[in-house]
Each structure stands twice: as C-alpha cells, then as structure tokens.
Structure 1
Amino acid sequence: MDVINFISKASGLPNATVSDPSSKYQHGCEHYANGPQLHEYLQQIGSLMNEYNAFSVGEMPWVSEPEEIIKSVGFDRAELNMILNFDIVDMDHGSKGKFSPKQWSMSDLKAITNKWQSFMYQNDGWNALYLENHDQSRTVSRWGSDKPKFRNVAAKMFATFLGLQSGTPFLYQGQELGMSNIPEDWEMTEYRDLETLNRWREIIASHADDVRFLETTKQQYRFKSRDNARTPMQWDSSAHAGFTTGKPWMRVNNNYSTCNAAAQVGDPTSVFEHWAHILRLRKDHRDVLVYGSFCLVDAQNDDIFAYTRRFGEQTILVVANSKEREARWTMPKLVDVREEKLLVSNYPHLRVEAL
C-alpha cells in the first residue's frame, strides 16, 4: 500500500510550516503524514484483510519513531502486518535532500538495524526487510562495490546481511542477480526519471559554470537516481538482455552479458544461488532465523557488521565485511558459539556444511 500513512489529512488545508522559504525541501508533511484518522482507516483495512486471511504491507515515509510505527503493525492492533520504513535508504541523504552528498557510516547502519530488529521483537511487531525497490538504486553500487572484482561477493554479502535478519525479506527484480547501477560513463541523456531530470535542469540553470558542483551532483545521481533500478531486467546475454525484441525505454546495463539470470541459475557460485541458499536456511532453521532474537555484536567496529540470532539453545552468528579490503576480526568473548559449523559463505574456498 503506497504511502499508506498519507490517507488521513489535516482538515482545513492549513499551510505548511516553512522555516526557510528558499528551500525546496520543505514537505509540509505534518499536514498529510500520520493524520488524525490514520489508525481508524488502517483498522478498517485490517478488518477487510482478515476476512480473506491476507497479509498487508504498507509503505510509510517520514515516520521513524518506533512508538508511532508500532501503532500500525503491533500484533494486537489489527491494522497492517508490516511496513516499509525509510531509515536505511535515507541514511546517505545530505542536508539539502536526496541528491546532496552524505558519507554514511557503519555506525549509522548498525544503529538503524539494531533499532528495528530489537524493537519489533520486544513489542510483538514485524519487520519488512528491504534494501532495493523501484524508488531505490542498486545496493551493490550504492553501499558496496560494483567493480568486477567485488560485485558478486558484495551482492552475496548484502544477501547474507539482510536475509538472515528477523522479518520478511523483499527482493526487487535483479537484486537476486547482483544487478548494479547505471555505469559511471553514461551521460545525463541516458536518464529517464523526472525526479532526476527536473533536478538536473534546476542545477544547470543555477550552477552552469560550477564544474565541480555539477560533477558532484552527477555522482549522486549515479548512487541514488531511481533510474538505477529501472534499467531492463537482465535475463540472458542476447540483445537487450533478453528483455524485449523491440526497443526498451532505456538501454540495458553494460554488464548484461555476464550478469544475467541464464548465466546464474544453477551456478553454485552465483549471486542467485547464494540467495536461494539463504532462503533455504530461513526455512530449515525457522525457529532461530525467523522467530529468534537479534543481538548486535561488536557495535563499535567500523568495518564489520556482526550479529547473532538466538532461539533456545540455538545461536547463529552472522559476520559481514563491508569494505573492499580484507578485515581481521576477533569474535568477542561474550558471544557464545559452542559449535563451529559454517552454514553459508560468499567465498567459494570456504567449506559450507551440508544442511
């Protein structure tokens, strides 16, 4: 349910509070997000969903307070089953909006993930797990590395990081292949998304002579433009990646001849088969990986994202390195993993135990 928390508006059509009249980033969302009748409407929707034994997923931007969101997804609220929040996908937005630069840090990602994993578990809520969709760019390029040397292992790392958390994982088309952003050498004429193009026209009009600023903005488009997720799906190595025999709305990514479904399905070293393995793990270790608790490990480490999932006597430790370089990591003594059984790895030379 797209922007479902906008369905209740403040009465009287009041003006937004604008602290900086020259800013283009004043949304006035206090008048149309989380309005006074939101939960009344969501309870009506929830009642209807219950009649059909259906589950509901709501997209809810501009709200990140757990105490507010639990009102919509709490088990006893009978409203929505889960929501897509924006905390992770907004963590690299700068002070002047989406296309202004901001260097995200591992501590940001850890704080956001720990916040939602812990809160939902403790308050009978449920998480929708996602990193990509039609409005977000490709994870491997945005927060990892899409260099040929690292693209596959980075895509598998993000699959492990996301897929073993508590909640329902959502994969966007091409994410299961490790599809990457628009190549850096593509010109602005290749873009089609109005959000990107309208902003670019404004930038050209106001900063035509500022070469450095223009290049910085173009780099932000390469990281965050919605077009990055809207290149044609890469099915095989034929013309237009097998997506169409006609002319697609924009050309396919340059790497389609090697990064495509036909090349990956059945290849045990591929991103696709890694995702399949992650999903099998969730089914085979349902108690701990679906319903177990979440505990962040080594919160201060700037390179490694590590966490445990626990249920009864079962403990699974997940360790992910986000950098292009090798990282040395010593497991903290407080982590009690009594059996060393490797369930999944994105490096083929490491032996994984049979399930």
Structure 2
Amino acid sequence: MNETWWKEAAVYEIYPVSFKDSNGDGKGDLQGIISKLDYLKNLGIDVIWICPIYDSPGKDNGYDISDFYAINPEFGTMSDFDELLKQAHDRGLKIMMDLVLNHTSDQHPWFKESRSSIDNPKRDYYIWKKGVNGLFPNNWESYFSGSVWELDENTDEYYMHLYSKYQPDLNWNNDEMVHELYKMISWWLQKGVDGFRLDAIAHIVKAEGLPNADNPQHLPVVRAYQLFSNLEKVHWMLKKLNEEVWMDYNIMTVGETSGLGPEQALEYVGDARHELNMVFQFEHMNLDSASAGTGKWVPRAWTLLELKKIISNWQTTLHKKGWNANYLGNHDQPRPVSRFGNDQQYRVESAKMLATFMLTLEGTPYIYQGEEIGMTNVAFETIGDYRDVETLNYYEYSHLHGKPMDETMAAIRAKSRDNARTPMQWDASPQAGFTTGDPWIKVNPNYSEVNVEAAMSDPNSIFHYYRRLLALRKTHKVMVYGEYKLLLPLDSELYVYTRTLDGSEDQIIVILNFFGESPVFEWPEDLRDLSRELLISNYSPNLDEEADEIQLQPYEARVYRLY
C-alpha cells in the first residue's frame, strides 16, 4: 500500500469570485478567502483548490489568462496571495492552483505579438491556418458552439480556439513556448504552492495535420473529440513536464480529462507512468444528458444501475494501479443535491447521503463550496440574470434555431454552470453575507434558510455531518485505502459496497438509499456473523442493529465497521 499525503487529503474547491467579498465590490477576493480559513480548517479539509486568480479579462470567469505571473486586481494583489499561502500553511492547509495550459486569453502579450504579423517570433506560439476555399481550415466544433476557428483580419488567417474565441489555443509543438510554461510553473512552485489542477489538459495535443472529422450528416461543424482529446503525445508531454519541473516537489496534480474510461485513465495516473496523480472523469457527469458536449442541455433520466456501473468500474480498475478523484459537483456542474438528490422535501437527508457516498469511495474526495451546507440549483426568471458564457451561447443558439423558450430556460435552470456560481451563502443578512455591495450574479433566494451560520448552529446540519465524515476518514485508513467491492449490483434503489484493507481485518460496509422510498436492506449471508459498529448515519436509527433486515428511510445512509 503506497501511502501518500494527497491520497489521504480532502480537497475543497473555491470559486473565488463567488466565495467571499471583503471590500464591497460585489466580487469575492483573496482577503475574503483568508477571512474564512478558520471555517475551512474547522470543516476538516486539507487542501484548498482555488479556481484561476490570474490576471484576466474575465471572458470565461478567469479561465482566459492574460498574465500567468499576476493576480487579477479584482481578487487583490500578489501580496494578498502570499498572505493567503502563509496563513493557510500556518493552519496546516495546502493550496492547489488552477492552471490553464491549453490556451490563454486573446489579451495575453504572447497572443498580441502572435497576431501582429505572420513573421512575428511568437506567431507559432498559437495554432494558425489559412482558410480553404473561403471555408474554415477544418470542420471541428468548439465546446462553446460554432467553429473552433476565428478569422484574424489583420493577417487573413484563422486561429484555433477549442473554447471561446477569446481563448486561443497554445501550440505545444513549439518548444520555446513550452519552456516558457515550464518557467512559469516553476515560479509558482518556488513560491510554495502545493499542487495544480490542470484545466483541459487532455486537449493540449491536436491531431497532426488538423484533419477534418468524419461528417456523415454534412454539418457545418462537428464534434471532433478524437482529434484533440487524449492523444498519445499528451503522455509524452506530461512525462516531460514531470521530469523537467515538478518531480523535485512533493505536490498534488489532478488533470481535467474528459472523454475517457478508467483503462485509458491509467495511462495518465498509473503508478509507473509518472504523469499525474489523478484525473477527473466525466462519465457520471453525462448520465443525465442525451450526449456529452452540446447534448448536456437535452435531459435524460439517469438510473442508479448506470451510476453503479460507472463508479464501480473506476473503483476496481484503478485499485492498486492508480488513484481516483471523486466528485459530484464543481464550478462547471449543477448542484449535486439538485441533480442526484432531492433539493425540496429531503434536501438535508439527500445531501448527507451524497456526502457519505463521496467520502467513502477509494480516491481523493473533492468538495465544492456550498456542498457542505446543501446549496441548491438556482432558477433565475430571465436569461438576463445569467452570466456564464456557455449558457448565453446556448440560449442564443436555441433562439436562432427556433426552440421553445420555456424548454430552453428549463434546460438552463437544470444544467447551467451558474447553478454552482451563485454567491456562497454565509448567513441570512442581505446578499447572504457574501458582500455589502451588489453581487456580480444574484444570490440564490433560499439563502435565508440555507446558510453557513444556520448550519453551524445546528448540530444535526449537513455541515456537521461533513465534519464527522471527514474526521472518520482520518481515523479509519480503510476509508482511504480499502478495496471497494460492490454488493447488490442489480438493486435499483440501494447502493451498497464494502471497503476492506489488505492485510488486516479492517472492513466497513456503506449502505445508501438513493431515493425517497423505504426499501429493505438484507444483510448478506457472509456478513451476518460479523459484529457491527455503526460509525455514522444521516438518521438516528432506533432499530435492533443485529437484525438481518433493515427498513431504510428516504435517502438514508449508514456506514458500519465490521469486525
């Protein structure tokens, strides 16, 4: 068993602009984060992952970086960051930066030089091509809809952008550019940061020659994942990055790698690969959509059997070979309690059940801000209340194609990234205690009921349940390193699994009722003779715990130690 600090850690993701505003300008900032470090320490997390805080025009909420070496003035100064790093380290908390290596802002000095002329020395820092007979260089579709190509009239060539036109893709075939990135990463490591989340890292290599994607329906643009996602040369690039930069540091790395399964993930995170510690997988995030990508807006009913199959495959395939990154929500996803739980009648119970799920799987758990108090999706009345570029692009696309507006708004309320980006709800005061000014995006109206102050004062709250779960994970190594085994694979309501630690008698069983009914759990024959200690439950069971049958309550979760 290869024990490592980042396997035992729990990570808390902060979306800075929505976390805590310290100066009343309506946007969260670094001093706001500093003011809440004791809150995070009290929760029991170990690592703070901070979404991009670099200088940026903000066309994609900071994922369009114009200066890797500077802090966005909206968030504060480099001195504020240095103070945050010191204050966090003084409390035993680590800081993980969000790093965007696939693209920059179109306002980055490199791109300004690159687009200035065809002969500029930095022209090849980005991906440029001439059009073909008045058409785009190829038929690839952007993640944010439309072509990946944008015409630059100054030089009459197109530049590539897998995301928005304000985010031109870097050319990783240019060694000089790559070494500039190495130098920048080293600079942050020397400052003392403890790791990186690598945004869109699977896309840094594109298919040689940038060929057209298959297009049987003769569409103007088509999704071409296979031509810019998880290509073989990505692994060579990451090995090189590891060798050149971060192998001398005891850091944590996690990559955003859409479109792969666990076998392919092992090419990134396998113990002998020396590339990344773990990756975020997206299979379970696509369960409730007609398809990945633009299909995210077309709803589809998900089933527990499908979720079990996906999670179990990742748990078993990576065991003893690599490491999982476990999450149900982040800054790009709807709120888990609204998506996989019940954010109305059983908000508290289902939020606790989902927390139990995430914190008892093998892998490093990621908690997104507000999950620990059960924050929910928001249902803004008009499109004018939304800020997310992907959401606004989808609304425009739907309008142009004549889709019914009620259908479009329903999809947006279910899937918009702004569901996760409404301000953190600290208390019941105006603007939820997030700011004394006008927030950059509206606060969820339920803040008077759902907020940190109320949660901390209630010993039975979701917040305190998270604290107990995190404490248990630190106490019982089986919850970190134990082997996962799925029980009742065909049960459509109950998700049950054991975790067993090699070379010991440490074993737990996790029993989760994923829905609002009251199914009966029957103890498996081979476990009935073992003694049971209830470690945690989101209810207060008043039952004979030696009974071979347990009638579970809606969204009930139980974790037993078996011995």
- Given the two structures, how large is their TM-score scaled by the length of structure 1? 0.91
Q: Secondary structure at the match of 1:171?
A: strand
Aligned partners of 1:23 and 1:89: how far apart in 2? 27
Aligned partners of 2:210 and 2:401: how far apart in 1? 32
Match of 2:406 in 1: 215
Aligned partners of 1:294 and 1:243: how far apart in 2? 40
Aligned partners of 1:348 and 1:227: how far apart in 2? 35
Q: Secondary structure at the match of 1:98?
A: helix
1:133 to 305, 330, 333: 330
1:154 to 350, 359, 363: 350
1:325 pairs with 2:325? no
Deviation at 1:77, TM superposition (A): 0.9
Whether the aligned pair in 1 keeps the contact of 2:425 and 2:447 (CA below 8 Å) is yes
1:189 pairs with 2:379? no
Taking the TM superposition and a 5 Å limit, the aligned residue runs for 1:1-355 are 1-22=198-219, 26-47=222-243, 48-64=245-261, 66-95=262-291, 97-122=295-320, 124-147=321-344, 149-183=345-379, 186-207=381-402, 210=404, 214-286=405-477, 288-311=478-501, 312-335=504-527, 338-348=530-540
Whether the aligned pair in 1 keeps the contact of 2:263 and 2:317 (CA below 8 Å) is no
Q: Which amino acid aligns with 1:186?
A: E
Q: CA RMSD in A?
A: 2.2
Q: Pick the structure with more strand per residue.
A: 2
What are the Cα deviations for residues 90-122 of structure 1, in whole angstroms up to 9, with x where unaligned?
111114610011110011100011000101114
Q: Which amino acid aligns with 2:398?
A: I
Whether the aligned pair in 2 keeps the contact of 1:100 and 1:217 (CA below 8 Å) is no
Whether the aligned pair in 2 keeps the contact of 1:56 and 1:80 (CA below 8 Å) is yes
Q: Which amino acid aligns with 2:330?
A: N
Q: Secondary structure at the match of 2:474?
A: helix
Aligned partners of 1:191 and 1:224: how far apart in 2? 12
Whether the aligned pair in 2 keeps the contact of 1:317 and 1:337 (CA below 8 Å) is no
Give the count of matched residue pairs: 345
Q: Secondary structure at the match of 2:392?
A: helix
Q: Percent identity?
A: 40
Unaligned runs of 5+ in 1: none
Bigger radius of gyration: 2
Q: Secondary structure at the match of 1:101?
A: coil
What are the Cα deviations for residues 151-188 of structure 1, in whole angstroms up to 9, with x where unaligned?
011100000011011000011111111100013x6333
Whether the aligned pair in 2 keeps the contact of 1:236 and 1:257 (CA below 8 Å) is yes
Deviates more, 1:224-233 or 1:257-266: 257-266
Pair 121,336 (structure 1): closer, same or farther in 2 beyond 3 Å: farther
- Given the two structures, how large is their TM-score scaled by the length of structure 2? 0.58
Whether the aligned pair in 2 keeps the contact of 1:49 and 1:56 (CA below 8 Å) is no
Pair 247,289 (structure 1): closer, same or farther in 2 beyond 3 Å: same
Whether the aligned pair in 2 keeps the contact of 1:9 and 1:36 (CA below 8 Å) is no
Aligned partners of 1:348 and 1:69: how far apart in 2? 40
Q: Which amino acid aligns with 2:254?
A: V
What are the Cα deviations for residues 307-341 of structure 1, in whole angstroms up to 9, with x where unaligned?
11111312211111111222222223244571221
